[in-house]
Structure 1
């Protein structure tokens, strides 16, 4: 086994339209060499449409699809060609990916090749039968990104490997085309990025084996990642334990809490701060919307509550409810939120976070949303004392605001901000936080 058929999460590969099968192009691993079919090298995995469903093989123990290879272009999100907004959180093993139904697609969701493949895969990924899971195609995700060569930005031809994924959840959604304002249906899948072996790499010869019709599904799994084998054997109950997690300090530096220089989020964050600098209290409603997005992103059901009256809030600006668990067996949690509209160059101090912590009761959780950053000491106290508080800095806020604007305000951040200010008074009330548990 050579390094030429292995790829590491985060590694950049060269995706060129040429027919070359050299192992490396311009110093990068060649995507077409990595993914070539040993049985027919003329069969290439093409990712122009975003989702490539490798052809089904009639194997000795039944039909199976070897894999589904996915390309996302997160840097193009909100454009006419990519109106959806895929989300990547590889450090915590999660990708939210939208299918290939577009505003111009005629017909129901599932009529496109890509979405049809996702629906077929979901039926196997959610199955309680180990035999079905053995046949299930792994999703191998790549994210297109610009690179700089000799100081020149190159937007096409480079992909970052994002990992091997299992479909954790699939839902039908309605999205909005930022170019026309028209809504259109699509699929959204939450992907569990599994932990890989040794050097965070996958051996592509595993996919070669799955393409070999002379191999049974069991034999073709020999070179699969151990976590994939665990999932095939145990099913959904294994998902939390096989999710990829990067062990890193939870204490972030200033640069990691703010948008990358030159990114669209820098402009969004500056606009938010400038707009609410004279509407400090109204920022609380925007913070509540951001909190709903952050807390509801991982499958929990978040419900809006209300905003507290200005003055004397004692470290509490908004109240919400988070339901964890399925149906009648769910557990409701009170969410207390604090909002601080400060200069992106400023930081939230430990005593400001402590005011929120002091209001929490057993079983409650807190969330602190700011346009700035959190001081190192504020973060250390949250981590060391294991307080149930989520910290949302300017970077995450800008990402969420930009996405909400594209999805619901035709890409106009100003439209979102104006609506927040006009709706602020209608969300303010005076109630005890625990009342959110029984409110409709």
Structure 2
């Protein structure tokens, strides 16, 4: 097998037609260094078209296509040459890509070399058979970019590596040529850009192995990304888990969500959990108080509503109202809250947060308060889908509790906890959330 050749996600490569195959060309990583192949009898991979199907190899276990190289040219979008607009959302592992049929193409949809290769690849990418997925060709995605060289802008000869993708969905669409106004059929593909691991880089030796006819498909899989191997094993069920995601700065680690054990706030959280461990429904009233304190911090007016009855909350534990603005411009918003008193070491899963999200209507916001922490995936789903939900983990909880204790209970935590326990039952009712708007 060939030695590792690592290509970093987002790397800018020099793509020159007459370049040599040295690793560096004119100060840039050289695309042809990767494209030349590990064997002398292999043709160099080129990117002269939008869809470049690498030549089949006749391997020990049958014929396979090593890869399809995709090149998108953003500066050409909307032109006669490239009338479609590809959409790249690489932080969330998604590309909306259009095939190479044009208004001027003679023949039916699928007659162009690029579209034909993609339709053929889809038969394996969408397969439920592991052996077929084992043979499936990865899509290597590149996007042309402009670079300034010696003070002059150059639109050609430079490409960014945008990762490895699978075809998640393929459909037939009708597009309109923006120049001629003519409509034409084409392919539209949703591509799943897979994770390339902790270092976010591809070992191109995997592609070289797939081009080696001496290796069967299983042997050629050995240096594939772990996410690709998982897809080969599990099929479509693996797609959400292998998708490339760039963590938002709003996503916090477990350590960032919890106080340090033995610290002031660590002891406060432990005391709070112990107090409510035998009466967890009472924690809902404390969560409501914490939500009101946090939502009122920015100068808005928060009105506490009521607690829902235990066992029939259906994803909500308390109701409140947040008034945004002043005077005639004031907008009242329904606040739905969920409370979860768990061991501080416990995490809240995406499914648990989803119960609250499912209850929200247009113009409503949610607050989820817990003595524990929120799993990474739960946070990612809130951030990615832009749900109007505020997450309050253990550390933020006790910071707010401490502020309430100092302001209203003379610094006595026990006094606050007893107040919550005594008031809980009187705050429970069966009213509908919308009623808070007229309270």
Deviations 1:372-414 (A, max 9, x none): xxxxxxxxxx979x97249xxxxxxxxxxxxxxxxxxxxxxxx
- Kindly indicate whether residue 165 of structure 2 is the aligned counterpart of residue 170 of structure 1: no
Please list, as runs of the form range in 1=range in 2, the aligned pairs for 1:232-251 lying within 5 A after superposition: 232-250=232-250
- Kindly indicate whether residue 30 of structure 2 is the aligned counterpart of residue 40 of structure 1: no
CA contact (8 A) 1:79 1:178 kept: yes
CA offset at residue 363 of structure 1?
3.6
Q: How many correspondences in the alignment?
A: 280
CA offset at residue 250 of structure 1?
4.8
Partner of 1:409: none
Rounded to whole Å, the distance in 2 between the matches of 1:56 and 1:245 is 32
CA contact (8 A) 1:72 1:142 kept: yes
CA contact (8 A) 1:87 1:96 kept: yes
| 1:3 to 1:144, Cα distance in 2 relative to 1, 3 A | farther
CA offset at residue 76 of structure 1?
2.0
CA contact (8 A) 1:250 1:383 kept: no
Rounded to whole Å, the distance in 2 between the matches of 1:64 and 1:367 is 53
- Kindly indicate whether residue 69 of structure 2 is the aligned counterpart of residue 69 of structure 1: yes
CA offset at residue 27 of structure 1?
1.4
Partner of 2:271: none
| 1:160 to 1:218, Cα distance in 2 relative to 1, 3 A | same
TM-score (structure 1 length as normaliser)? 0.59
Partner of 2:387: 388
CA offset at residue 3 of structure 1?
9.8
| 1:362 to 1:166, Cα distance in 2 relative to 1, 3 A | closer
CA contact (8 A) 2:35 2:46 kept: no
Unpaired stretches in structure 2, ≥5 consecutive residues:
252-323, 337-356, 365-380, 390-439
- From the CA coordinates, give the structure whose radius of gyration is larger: 2
Deviations 1:41-76 (A, max 9, x none): 672222122111111111111111100001001232
CA contact (8 A) 1:365 1:389 kept: no
Partner of 1:115: 115
CA contact (8 A) 1:357 1:387 kept: no
Rounded to whole Å, the distance in 2 between the matches of 1:213 and 1:4 is 18
Rounded to whole Å, the distance in 2 between the matches of 1:157 and 1:367 is 49
Rounded to whole Å, the distance in 2 between the matches of 1:35 and 1:366 is 51
Deviations 1:79-100 (A, max 9, x none): 1111100000000000011011
Rounded to whole Å, the distance in 2 between the matches of 1:167 and 1:383 is 25
| 1:351 to 1:246, Cα distance in 2 relative to 1, 3 A | farther
CA offset at residue 248 of structure 1?
2.1
Partner of 2:272: none
TM-score (structure 2 length as normaliser)? 0.59
Give the aligned CA root-mean-square deviation in angstroms: 3.2
What is the SS of the residue equivalent to 2:238? Answer: helix
CA offset at residue 5 of structure 1?
2.3
CA offset at residue 354 of structure 1?
9.7
| 1:197 to 1:383, Cα distance in 2 relative to 1, 3 A | closer
CA offset at residue 198 of structure 1?
3.1
CA contact (8 A) 1:356 1:366 kept: no
CA contact (8 A) 1:6 1:34 kept: no
Please list, as runs of the form range in 1=range in 2, the aligned pairs for 1:205-244 lying within 5 A after superposition: 205-244=205-244
